[in-house]
Every structure is written in C-alpha cells, then in structure tokens.
Amino acid sequence: MLVSLAVKAQESFDGPLFQCMLIHNPAYSGGEGDGTARTLYMNHYPGNNYNLHSVYLSYDSYIPVLHGGAGFYIADEYLGGIINDIRAGFTYSYFIQAGRELFIHSGLSASVFHRGFNFGDAVFPDQIDPVAGVVFPSAENTGAGGKSAFDLGAGFLVNYRGNFGAFSVSHLTQPDISEAGLSVDRLKRKYNLEIAGRFSAGSSDKRFIRPLFLASYQDDYFSASAGAAFESNNLSVNSVLLWNNAQSLNLQCGFAVTISDLSLFYNYRFNISAEGSRLPLSLMHQTGLSFRLNKIEKRNNISTIIIPKL
C-alpha cells in the first residue's frame, strides 16, 4: 500500500519575529539608533521529544560615518540532534531622508550557511534486529563532514512618523546546502513584506496600539500574519493570527517587559486548525531579550524605528 502526502515546509525563523529581524531584512540595521543586542530561543513542537531548537544572536547600531547602520548575526538550528544549521552574516543599511519625516533604508547582507551532521545517535534500518534490537554496525556511508555555502540578501524599509513598511529578498544566491548537490535542496528565494503602525490609545501618550501585517513567500509556500501589540509604559501584550497555504491556522500570544535598557519577552504559538489534524496543539515557545549597549546621539539625519515589542 502506498500513501502519498504533499508537505509544505518553511524555515524555522518564520512569522512575526522582529527579534531576529536582521536575518530577514538587512535594512533594519541601525534603525533603532542605539546599539542593540538581541537574543532569541525557540523550542519547536514542545512536549513531543522532537529535539528541535533554534537560537539567534545579533547586534546592530547606527554609525554616522557610514550614513546608516551596520550589524551582524549568528543563528543555529539544532534539528533532532543530527542536523545542525549555522548561519552567520554581516548587514549594512544606508539611510536616505526623502522628506521632512520620511526616511528610506536600503540594506544588503552577506552570510555563510553551514549544514553539519552528527550521526553518533542515528539508527539506520540495517542496524535493527527484530529480536536483539540495535546490534549491527551500519553499512551506510556517514562520513559526510557538512556543507557550507555563501548567501546574499537585500531589503528596503520606509519609515514615516513611527509607521513603517519593509520588503526583503533572502537567499539571492539560492545556496546549495546538500552534500549530494541536489537542486531540490537549494534554499529558494524568500520574499518578506512587513507593515507596522503606531497609534495612541486614548488621551495618554504612553499607551499605544501597534497593528502589524506580515507576508512571506518561498517557492510554493506562502504565509501571512496579522495582529496587534498593546504597549503601556514598561509592559506590552500581543496577539497575532498566522495562516499558511498548507491550510494551517495558528495563534501566537505573548508579552514583553522593559526595564530601563533591557527588554524581556515570551511568546507561545499554538495550532487552531490544520488539514487532517496533523499538527500538535503546541507549536513553539519563544523567549529572549534585547538590551542597548550604547547610546547614539539623535541627529537630524536619522529617524529611529520603533519596533513592536513582540
């Protein structure tokens, strides 16, 4: 008997993840003005022992002599204890003042993608004995040392009075990350669109509603997200609805707490419905923090972006 299924996949860094924005769009580099370090940890499908984890670290700052911002990032996706995807790159964004309160950022990124393998805990079919269990040494060739590939990205961002929109293209080189050199294993170009606003909530100038919309397209996978964050003084709460063309509808909720120059956040993403009910309820835990390492003097030639605290 043969059962056939169509499976649509996406990269782990998917959805409303402003905390790891440099990996999506280099135009964000230095957009907040002050030098900011960000960390992010994601636990995928928690409670199912899949051992799928992602971590991210970045730093970016506005640099007056460059007329824009620069930064770097490093990300590690630990997949089941066997596959380890490491990405590291540098980003640069040039700021253009197109009007009194209108700023345009154009960014470029250069990175290296490395896929490594660890077969120490892997069990292959020829190792399994029906009675004794795993007893035989495998005849599989597991000497692959991994594969590295060079990658490029580009993006644009328009900022006007606290409202901004961004568009980016990742994997311009479509890097080949397979040991066998198969074309199906090339990372396809990924297109991202992000729009966020900032509106006062009531008469107070310390409470804001931040509506946001995101869309992502890669090969035959499409996803869209829409939601809002409510920010008041040092606390922010958010709720975002996510949909993709694999007929999956998810909801992400969370909060962020800011104390001085330090922000701590937590988000939980769960599945509302999926075609065939193949997804578990718990999809992802996200947690991390961001902190400012140096203050940048505000100048007339820079309008800082206020990123939603998700």
pLDDT of residue 279: 83
73-107 pLDDT per residue, tens: 999 999 888 888 999 999 999 999 888 889 999 99
Dihedral (Cα; 92, 93, 94, 99), 10-degree rounding: -170
Burial of 19: CB neighbours in 10 Å, binned 0-12, 13-18, 19+: buried
Please state, in angstroms and rounded to a whole number, the distance separating the CA atoms of residues 286 and 300.
36
Mean pLDDT (the chain) is 87
**Residue 10: which pLDDT band, with cuts at 50, 70 and 90?**
low
Could you give the count of Cα atoms lying within 13 Å of 300 in the half-sphere of its Cβ? 2
What is the model's pTM?
0.87
Max avg pLDDT among 133-147, 208-222, 285-299: 208-222
Q: Say if residues 119 and 164 touch (Cβ distance below 8 Å).
A: no
Q: What is the DSSP string of 234-283?
A: TEEEEEEEEEETTTEEEEEEEEEEEETTEEEEEEEEEEEEEGGG-S-SEE
- So what's the pLDDT on residue 309? 82
- For residues 20-34, average pLDDT: 91
